[in-house]
Amino acid sequence: MTESSALQNEVSLETSIPEGGASLESILCTEELHRRPSRPPDYEKENRALVKLVSALADSPSTIFHTLADTIQDITQCDSAGLSLLTRDGKTPHVEGQRFYWPAICGMWGPHVGGGTPRNFGPCGDVLDQNRTLLFTHFERRYPYLMPVSPAAEECLLVPFYVDGKAVGTIWGIMHSSRRKFDAEDDRIMASLGKFASSAYQAWTHIEDLKIQVAEREKAEAEVRELAKGLEAKIRRLVEANVVGIVMWNLEGAITGANEAFLHMVQYDQDDIASGRVRWKDLTPAEWRNRDEQAIAEIKGSSIFRPFEKEYLRKDGTRVPVLLGGALFEGGGNEGVAFVLDLSEQKRAQEKLRDAQQSLYATQGELAQISRLTTMGELTASIAHEVNQPLTAITNNGSACLRLLANQNLGPEVLRRTLEEIVADGNRASAVIARIRGFIKKAPSEKSELDVNEVIQEVLALVGPELQKNRIAVKCELSTSLPLVFADRVQLQQVLLNLIVNGIEAMTAVTDRARALVVQSKIDESGVLMVAVCDTGTGLSLEADRVFTPFFTTKANGMGMGLPISRSLVEGHGGRLWATSNSPYGAVFSFTLPAAGSSS
């Protein structure tokens, strides 16, 4: 029932008062209480009753109203006793209620428990309005709705009680016959029980509040559970749909669960996961471990890591490129979930595109990069070939003459012709040598003032596709406060290109660690401009000094000329080029260049 309809009910009740209903004064006889002979107080009984009430309040507060009604009847020896409480809904107490209800009644009126009276037209309302104890006699004479409530009340003693200064209800006792009349002693006891009723009321409402709170919490929890169930179903759908790979993992490196999509990518099965043999740390190739560490650091800070691209090792050792993103589960544990997308198709498409682009560049000849990449190798190979041809002819001719001489079969005409050939081939060989020298010496005429960092960037742009193809991470550590150098741009490019390509080739065999190329430019301790190219490749071992010897090579298809030529070029600029070992792996090739206008 809503509040407004309750009010309407009461209005209709009020307006339906029969004409000639007895006046309030005519049904009150409160003053008689103190004129009547009073029975002596039985303090012992009263104390026992109060102790019983207090312990009931402690032990079973939910039935305290009933216990109170019982006590009233017991002490006052009345025929019926009970409580009236203000209510809105007729079932639970409320201080702003517009009617009273009877939560507990003992004695002859016991069957009427749950009934009640209106706030503004009834004995309880009168008591609250006058704010004092009242004694009624036959109140049904004024309040006709009490007429059918039987047995009729000869006398009714009503006492208001309060909580925080507000009247909330009454306690009452009723005599249905004139066998005994309420007296001053009853008034005193009822006043005292009224105070107890107040605390019982508070205790009871607290408990009810608590019950409501508990019920609300249970409801909320049930809702959360329901929501979680719905969410779980959705998540399970996502996992089982196998649209993306999904992995449960922990920070120690284990995979605790995965869906079929993920297993398909890495070619393992559920048994492998269940056995704990498959660890994401083991699925990650060495050169990607650093990136993983980065993601772990990120996840420890913000409990998610942003998606990034990496590779996984399949069961058969091949690699699959993936996009990976994920989060830690809530609660600060070390377990989390990640999604994994297979990028093979995209990579293939990218590679095709890149290949197409590259062949386009190559055919159009618009970019010098490819020819430049091979210039050094071709140069050295052709030097070897061109010098070797006349040398071979000279050796052959000389050997042949020696053989004929040994057989005393060498005619002067043959000898003259052969010697002429030998001289011609000797001249040819020295012409080749002169040309190479000319190539190296001629170049410095094209020197200009250059920014070394700019040249480094140009060369890195040139080798970008090579680096990407070989999965090499590049790091530039370029000082911004370098002086300009006076140098030949093309030669400087050739030196850098040679050192970087060497670095790339030294790392192609590396699979158990990150492939990283670092290019540095700086001013060293002695104030000289220095450029260093560091790799994590196979390193120099014992050959550090020999790498600059012409025709020395560790590469299967190397000529052994790149570094000697690079060194000549650097020395032609007044600088130095040398090699050291990188720690813990690889090599560092460093060269210096004098600043423009510093010396010569």
Partner 1 sequence: MTAAPVVFVVDDDASVRSSLKFLLSTVGLQAETFDSADGFLHKKHPDVAPSCLVLDVRLPGLSGLDFQRELATRNICIPIVFLTGHGDIPMSVRAMKAGAVEFLTKPFRDQDLLDAVRVALDQDRARREREKEITDIRGRFDSLTSREQEVVSMVVAGMLNKQIAAELGTAESTVKVQRSRAMEKMQAESLADLIKMIQKVQSPSQKAS
Give the length of the chain: 600
Q: Which residue has the tokens 């409530």?
A: 149
Residue 190 has φ and ψ, to the nearest 5°, of -65, -35
Q: Which is nearer to partner 1, 359 or 392 (CB)?
A: 392
Q: Which is nearer to partner 1, 296 or 415 (CB)?
A: 415
- 595 DSSP 8-state letter: B
Minimal distance in Å, beta carbon 554 to partner 1?
A: 12
Minimal distance in Å, beta carbon 318 to partner 1?
A: 25
Q: Which is nearer to partner 1, 272 or 421 (CB)?
A: 421
Minimal distance in Å, beta carbon 561 to partner 1?
A: 10
Q: How many CB atoms lie within 10 A of CB 19?
A: 4
Q: Which is nearer to partner 1, 393 or 460 (CB)?
A: 393
Q: Look up residue 259 and give its amino acid.
A: N
Alpha carbon of residue 226 to chain centroid: 24
**What is the secondary structure of 305-353 as a DSSP string?**
EEEEEEEEE-TTS-EEEEEEEEEEPSSS-SEEEEEEEE-HHHHHHHHHH
Is 521 exposed, middle or buried, given 0-12, 13-18 or 19+ CB atoms closer than 10 A? buried
Q: Which is nearer to partner 1, 327 or 381 (CB)?
A: 381
Q: Which is nearer to partner 1, 41 or 398 (CB)?
A: 398
> What element of type H or E holds 577?
strand 577-581
Q: Which residue has the tokens 């809702």?
A: 223
- 165 DSSP 8-state letter: T
Is 515 exposed, middle or buried, given 0-12, 13-18 or 19+ CB atoms closer than 10 A? buried
Minimal distance in Å, beta carbon 548 to partner 1?
A: 18
Q: Which is nearer to partner 1, 91 or 403 (CB)?
A: 403
Q: Which is nearer to partner 1, 470 or 554 (CB)?
A: 554
Tokens of 137: 């006699």
Q: Which is nearer to partner 1, 145 or 552 (CB)?
A: 552
Is the previous residue joined to 151 through a cis bond, with omega within 30 degrees of 0? yes
Q: Which is nearer to partner 1, 199 or 397 (CB)?
A: 397
Minimal distance in Å, beta carbon 401 to partner 1?
A: 8
Q: How far apart are CA 211 and CA 215, in angstroms?
A: 6
Minimal distance in Å, beta carbon 550 to partner 1?
A: 11
Q: Look up residue 386 and give its amino acid.
A: E
Tokens of 35: 């004129």
Minimal distance in Å, beta carbon 317 to partner 1?
A: 24
Q: How far apart are CA 177 and CA 34, in angstroms?
A: 20
Minimal distance in Å, beta carbon 547 to partner 1?
A: 17
Is 533 exposed, middle or buried, given 0-12, 13-18 or 19+ CB atoms closer than 10 A? buried
Residue 559 and residue 384 in contact, taking contact as beta carbons nearer than 8 Å = yes
Q: Name the nearest CA neighbour of 93 among 10, 209, 217, 216.
A: 209
Q: How far apart are CA 333 and CA 48, in angstroms?
A: 59
Minimal distance in Å, beta carbon 374 to partner 1?
A: 15
Q: Which is nearer to partner 1, 342 or 425 (CB)?
A: 425
Q: Which is nearer to partner 1, 294 or 382 (CB)?
A: 382
**Axis-axis angle for helices 562-572, 412-442 (nearest 10):** 60
Edge to edge, the sheet with strand 304-313 lists: 255-258, 245-250, 335-342, 319-328, 304-313
Q: Which is nearer to partner 1, 89 or 386 (CB)?
A: 386
Minimal distance in Å, beta carbon 509 to partner 1?
A: 15
What is the DSSP pairing of strand 516-523 with strand 473-478? parallel
Minimal distance in Å, beta carbon 512 to partner 1?
A: 25
What SS3 state is found at 203?
Answer: helix
Q: How far apart are CA 405 and CA 109, in angstroms?
A: 154
Minimal distance in Å, beta carbon 416 to partner 1?
A: 13
**Axis-axis angle for helices 43-59, 184-241 (nearest 10):** 10
Residues that bind partner 1 (CB under 8 A): 381, 384-385, 388-397, 399-400, 403-404, 407, 418, 421, 424-425, 428, 551, 556-557, 559
Minimal distance in Å, beta carbon 407 to partner 1?
A: 8
Q: Rg of the chain's alpha carbons, rounded to an integer?
A: 53
Q: Which is nearer to partner 1, 385 or 416 (CB)?
A: 385
Minimal distance in Å, beta carbon 411 to partner 1?
A: 12
Residue 369 and residue 462 in contact, taking contact as beta carbons nearer than 8 Å = yes
